[in-house]
Amino acid sequence: MDTLDLKYIRGYAITREPLVIDGNWVGFNKFDYYFYFHPQTKWAYKEAGDLWVCIIGRALDVNNSTDDLKRISQILLEKYKKNLNDIFDYTDELIGRYIVVVGDKRKAIIYNDAIGMKAIFYNSANGYIASHAKLLSEISNSDNTYTVEAKWLREYSAYHLPGNLTIYKNIFQLIPNHYINLSSLEITRYFPRENLVQLSVNEAASEIIKIINKQLDLLNNKKIILSLSGGMDSRTSLALLKNKVSDLTLFTYFLRDSQDSSYKGNSILNTDEAIVKDMINNLHLNHKFIPIDISKFDSIDFNYFKNILKQNTYLSHNYKLAKLYYDYFKDEDVLHIRSNSYEVGRAILRKAYNFGKKEMTIENQITCYSPKAINDDTIKDIVKDYNISFDPRGHYNYDPYDLQHWEWRLGLWHSHVLIESDLAFDTHILINSHKIYKLLLSVPLSDRKKGTLFRKLIELNWPVLLFWDINNRNTLLDRYDSQIVDYGLNLQDIIFKSGNMDDPESNVPYFGNLYVKSAKMYIDKSDPQKGDYVEATKQINTKLTEEKEVVVNLRVPFEAKHLSNRLKYQVFCNNKLILEEDVAFWQETNEIIIPVTSDIHEIKLSFKVIAIKDCEPWSLGKAATLIIERIILRKQSLKSRQVQASSPFSKIFKNYV
C-alpha cells in the first residue's frame, strides 16, 4: 500500500504559481494557469487562439456516442466559440463525474458535473482550486486551524457541514449548478436556465430509458460492478443495466465476525442478503457476497489505510467499507456503478419534514440541515451567507426544497463518499446529468413522493425485478391469493377512450391499464379542463334468463374535500346514467349494485371520469384515478329495481329499469 499513490488519488489542482506535488503528478502551464493531475486522473485540454478548455475526470456524450475526453474537449471548444450558454447546454447532457474549466484572455471559470461527484474546493484568499480540501490547504500553505465547531459534525449532521464550509480556513466547496470565476472568485448560478415542463410518469420513464440505453453502448469496454441490496435504488440501476447484465458483476456486502461464531450481523444487511440470494438464484446473475469482517478493524493495516482516508477527506462515510472495496477490487480495472442521486426526484425534504406547500424560509433550510440546529444563531448566519451565492429560492418553477437537497445535501456529501472509494475504483452514476434530473423533477409531486417513476423504470425495463418487495423479504407470492385476485369477470376486453364533452376535436391524454380482473384509468393532465374525460366500457353478454345483479366495486384513492367540485365519476348502464359522485369525498370502495331484469342479455357498462370545471395545475388528473376493483354478474331475485351504492356521497338516478 503506497501512501503517495493513494493520497489524493484521482485528484487535480489549479494554481497561478508553479508547484511540486509529491507522487509523480503531471501538469502543464497555459494562460497564467498551472494544472496538476494525479497519475490516475484522466484529462484533456484544447485551445484555439485565446480560447481554451480542459475537462477532468470521466464523461459520456450519448448524443455523439463518445467517451473520448479529447473529442469532448474539442466539442466544448467549438461550443465556447459561440457562447457560454452553448457549453452549458452541451454539458447538461453529459453523464459522468467530471470538471470543466473554460477560459480566454480575460477570465476562466470552473464547474463540475450535475451533482458534483467530482469535488471542487477553492481558496478564497488566493484563488487556488483542488480536488481535496487538505490538498488545497497544503499547496496554499494556509492556516490549518480547525475553523468549525466539533458539534456541527458530531451533534447536528455527520453528512456535511453547514453552508459550503470545510474544516479549513478560507477553503470552501463549490456547490453544484454554479461556476466560479478563477480570477474574481465570483460565483454564478448557471442551472436551471428555464422552467420545468411537466411530464407523465410514462413519458419521463421512456425518455430516461432511451438515454440510458445510449449510455450502455459507451460502457461496452468497461468492467462494470454494481452493489445490489434489497432497496429501490440498486434495483432501479439493475433494471436499467439489463441489456448489459451478462457483462455485469454484482456484489452484496454483509457483516461477520471471524472471532465470534454467534455474531448475528446487521438486520438491514441480513435482509439485503436474503432478498439478493433469492434474486440471484432465480435470475442466474453473476454475483458474489463479500463479508466485512469486523474483527479485523483493529489491525495495523486498517489503521494505516484509515490515516490515508483521513487526509483525503475530513468527512467519514464508512472507512470499513472503503477498506473492503480496496481489498477486493484494487487490482481490477473496474468501474463502480453507484445507485445514488435517484433521490433528486423524490421530493425528499417536503416529505421528510412535512413541509406541504410551505414556502422556504431560513428556518426551514436549517431544519433540512439539522432540526437540532434550529436555535443556533451561528448556523443561521452561515445559512444567510450561503444564500448570498447559492440561494435555492426563485429559480424558474423549480421547488427550492428540491434544489436544497440536490445542491446542499448531495452536492456536499456525496463527493466525499466517492473520495473514500477512489482508493479502489472510479465511480459512475447512470443518471448523473442535468437532463435526466430534469426528467426526474418533471413528474407530478404526488408521484415523486411515492417514487412512482422508479417503479415504472423497473416495470418497463425488467419487470420481473418487482417480484421481490423493496427492503423486505416478501414476494409477489405473499400478496397473491387466487380467491381474492381471481374473483370477478375478466376485464381485459375493456375499451378506453378520452375526449372533451364540449370539443369533439380535442385530444385528451389518458392513462388506462388492465389487470385481468381489475382496471385503472385517469386523465393524464395536471390541469384537466372543463369537459375533459376518460371512459372505460365493458360489454357483458349473458345467457342467464333469470333476474340478476351486476355488482361493481369502484374506488378513487383520493379524498380531499377542499378540492371538491372539480372532477366527478359517472356510471352508465346501457347508455343510461345511473350514478355519479364527486371524486373528492370518498376514498373507500363504493359497491354499486345494478338490478337487471330477466329479459336483458346484453349489458353495456361505462365508467367515466370528467372535469366539472377548469382545474388548477395540481396533478388533479391523476389524483382522480378511478379503479375498477371488480365486476360480478350473479343470479338474484330482484327485491328492488333501484340502483344501490355503499358510498354516502353517490347521487343515484332513478327510473333505471
Torsion angles phi and psi, residue 579, rounded to 5: -160, 145
Cβ neighbors of 565 (< 8 A, separation 6 or more) are 582, 584, 612, 613
Share of the chain above pLDDT 70, in %: 98
Q: Read off the pLDDT of residues 403-427 as tens digits, 9 standing for 90 and up.
A: 999 999 999 999 999 999 999 999 9
According to DSSP, the β-strands at 26-30 and 519-523 are: unpaired
CA terminus-to-terminus distance, the chain: 87
For 13-34, give the DSSP string. EEESS----TTT-EEEEETTEE
Q: Read off the pLDDT of residues 444-471 as tens digits, 9 standing for 90 and up.
A: 998 999 999 999 999 999 999 999 999 9
Q: Is the dihedral of CA 428, 430, 435, 439 positive or negative?
A: negative
According to DSSP, the β-strands at 287-293 and 334-337 are: unpaired
Q: Give the whole-angstrom CA distance, residue 426 versus residue 336.
A: 6
Flag the least confident range among 76-80, 141-145, 253-257, 331-335: 141-145
Residue 77 pLDDT greater than 90, yes or no: yes
Q: Per-residue confidence at 480, pLDDT binned at 50, 70, 90?
A: low
Flag the least confident range among 213-217, 378-382, 475-479, 580-584: 475-479
Q: How far is CA 154 from CA 40, 181, 223, in A?
A: 33, 33, 38
Torsion angles phi and psi, residue 7, rounded to 5: -70, 125
495-652: same fold as 201-355+405-478?
no
Mean pLDDT of 79-107: 96
Angle between helices 411-421 and 319-329 (to 10 degrees): 40
Q: Per-residue confidence at 1, pLDDT binned at 50, 70, 90?
A: low
Question: Which own/partner pairs from 478-487 qualify as long-range (CB within 8 Å, at least 24 positions apart)?
Answer: 485/517, 486/516, 486/517, 487/517, 487/630, 487/632
Angle between helices 300-312 and 319-329 (to 10 degrees): 110
Q: Give the whole-angstrom CA distance, residue 272 versus residue 278.
A: 10
Q: Give the whole-angstrom CA distance, residue 347 versus residue 454.
A: 13
| Sheet arrangement for strand 602-611 | 495-500, 532-541, 602-611, 567-573, 576-582, 651-652
Q: How far is CA 211 from CA 35, 78, 97, 238, 493, in A?
A: 33, 23, 17, 15, 34
Mean pLDDT of 355-363: 89
List the grid coordinates of 112: 463540475
Q: Read off the pLDDT of residues 164-186 as tens digits, 9 standing for 90 and up.
A: 999 998 999 999 999 999 999 99
Fold of 12-189: Glutamine Phosphoribosylpyrophosphate, subunit 1, domain 1 (3.60.20)
DSSP helix/strand/coil, 316: coil
Mean pLDDT of 107-128: 96
Mean pLDDT of the chain: 93
pLDDT of residue 657: 56
Q: Read off the pLDDT of residues 240-257 as tens digits, 9 standing for 90 and up.
A: 999 999 899 999 998 887
DSSP 528: P
Residue 147 pLDDT greater than 80, yes or no: no
* pTM for this entry: 0.84
Neighbours of 17 (CB within 10 A): 10
Q: Per-residue confidence at 11, pLDDT binned at 50, 70, 90?
A: very high
pLDDT of residue 618: 84
Give me the count of residues in the chain: 657
Q: Read off the pLDDT of residues 274-313 as tens digits, 9 standing for 90 and up.
A: 999 999 999 999 999 998 888 877 787 889 999 999 999 9
Characterise 455 by phi-psi region: left (phi > 0), alpha (psi -120 to 50), beta (else): alpha
Mean pLDDT of 511-530: 93
Q: Read off the pLDDT of residues 200-241 as tens digits, 9 standing for 90 and up.
A: 899 999 999 999 999 999 998 889 999 999 999 999 999 999
Q: Per-residue confidence at 479, pLDDT binned at 50, 70, 90?
A: confident
Out of 2.50.20, 2.60.120, 2.60.40, 1.10.3470, the CATH code matching 495-652 is 2.60.120
pLDDT of residue 577: 96
Domain ranges in the chain? 12-189, 201-355+405-478, 495-652
Q: Per-residue confidence at 617, pLDDT binned at 50, 70, 90?
A: confident
pLDDT of residue 257: 78
pLDDT of residue 414: 94
Q: How far is CA 637 from CA 545, 598, 641, 642, 657, in A?
A: 12, 10, 10, 13, 14
pLDDT of residue 25: 96
Closest by alpha carbon to 226, among 335, 318, 146, 136?
335
Share of the chain above pLDDT 90, in %: 78
Residue 655 pLDDT greater than 70, yes or no: no
Q: Give the whole-angstrom CA distance, residue 224 versus residue 240.
A: 13
CATH numeric code, 201-355+405-478 = 3.40.50.620
Instruction: Tell me the one-letter amino acid at 347.
Output: A
Q: Per-residue confidence at 146, pLDDT binned at 50, 70, 90?
A: low
Using a 10 angstrom Cβ sphere, with 0-12 exposed, 13-18 middle and 19 or more buried, the burial of residue 530 is: middle
Q: Give the whole-angstrom CA distance, residue 99 versus residue 97.
A: 7
